[in-house]
Amino acid sequence: MPGLFPLPPQPDGVPWPTSEWPEGPPDPDVDIAELAAVADRAFQVPAPDSHGETLALLAVHRGRLVFERYAPGRGAADSFPSWSMAKSITHAAIGILLGEQRLALAAPAPIPTWRGDGDPRREITLEHLLRMVDGLDFVEVYEPTGRSDVIEMLFGAGKEDVAGYTIARPLAHPPGSYWNYSSGTSNVVAAIAGAAVGGGRDGMEAFLRHALFEPIGMHSAQPRFDAAGTFIGSSFVFATGRDFARFGLLALRDGVWDGKRVLPAGWIDHARTPTPASFGQYGAHWWLALDGTRIFTANGFQGQYIVVDPERDLVLVRLGASTPAQRAAVIRDLRSIVGAFPARR
């Protein structure tokens, strides 16, 4: 796509990390001192008030795992919550189903209760949902100080049927006209995926495992489901730091893994193409950097990040427990780490 920085292929001679990560020290052109300084600050004990707790930090450069560090008591075998990084995994699942022609982006979303005559929600497409411009009235607030649909959906009245909770919401804006980040929207997308796959919870879990996780060696991944059998695609995939890095590498490699196309051609470009109504900060279930670096990221509550930088052939994974007020400092540190790696020549 015009305007998108090309996604780099796996360098010759670097094995794919389907079983084990190829490891090694950073290349000589990496600013190791800066990388070490940022990591030392992130892993201070006690955790710095400015940043909150960093539990894991990994860097994959040119296909090799060149940096990996964990908080005391944590290690490479430990599983961590994705929170909203799961949204990007949901986008990948939809891409596979589109490639199999089981779904269509531009078609009205296959939600029966939206199909009634006169229901304005019948105009919502799968593309609207993926770009968070569906127009549904959903409040994404994480502090229980007022109305919070995300808290009510995940932990309150909607927790047994997270997609049903959101499907019942009325429109607040015409579809396509207004960007509103919404975990409810992602769970509608996950329900659409589940219906296309069939077989309820077991069918969707098997699909995620066999079509996405297993081909890239993401064996630790554990998706969570609600009582209705819907994958909680907004928030709940648990995996090791190394497996989240594998998912990031899949995105960096344009959905190709060890010679096999896992995601359809162009699907990662779809993810990183800006949604105009978001003023450029959001693509399709991935966040976009606004500083011209061409970076795209999977972001999660409490400061979970998969950072994908095609210009540097770099994937960063940061997992932790940071408040909203602390995340600005975390992002600054991630930018410093990115800057320690050279741009591709």
Domain-by-domain residue ranges, the chain?
32-85+219-339, 87-196
Give the model's pLDDT for residue 1: 39
Give the model's pLDDT for residue 344: 79
**Beta carbons of 106 and 125 less than 8 angstroms apart:** yes
Give the model's pLDDT for residue 326: 93
**In this structure, what DSSP letter does residue 119 have?**
-
Give the model's pLDDT for residue 293: 86
d(CA 228, CA 247): 27
Question: Could you please report the per-residue DSSP string of 287-344?
Answer: EE-SSSS--EEEEETTTEEEEEETTTTEEEEEEEE--TTTHHHHHHHHHHHHHTSPPP
**Segment 173-178 long-range contacts (CB within 8 Å, at least 24 positions apart):** 173/135, 174/120, 174/123, 174/135, 175/120, 175/121, 175/123, 175/124, 175/125, 175/128, 175/133, 175/134, 175/135, 176/123, 176/128, 176/133, 176/135, 176/277, 177/133, 177/135, 177/277, 178/133, 178/135, 178/277
Closest CA relative to residue 224, chosen from 211, 240, 235, 209: 235
> Any idea which fold 87-196 has?
Beta-lactamase (3.40.710)
pLDDT tens for the 345 residues of the chain, in order? 347 999 999 999 999 999 999 999 999 999 999 999 999 999 999 998 999 999 999 999 999 999 999 999 999 999 999 999 999 999 999 999 999 999 999 999 999 999 999 999 999 999 999 999 999 999 999 877 789 999 999 999 999 999 999 999 999 999 999 999 999 999 999 999 999 999 999 999 999 999 999 999 999 999 999 999 999 999 999 999 999 999 999 999 999 999 999 999 999 999 999 999 999 999 999 999 988 889 999 999 999 999 999 999 999 999 999 998 999 999 999 999 999 999 976
Q: Is 65 helix (H, G, I), strand (E, B) or coil?
A: strand
Asked if domains 32-85+219-339 and 87-196 share a fold, the reply is yes
Give the model's pLDDT for residue 192: 98
Give the model's pLDDT for residue 85: 98
Other Cβ atoms less than 10 A from the Cβ of 134: the count is: 31
d(CA 189, CA 197): 12
What are the tokens at 88? 């990007």
d(CA 17, CA 293): 26
Closest CA relative to residue 63, chosen from 256, 285, 332: 256
**Beta carbons of 294 and 286 less than 8 angstroms apart:** no
pTM (predicted TM-score): 0.96
Strand boundaries in 71-215, DSSP class E: 79-81
> Any idea which fold 32-85+219-339 has?
Beta-lactamase (3.40.710)
**Beta carbons of 296 and 127 less than 8 angstroms apart:** no
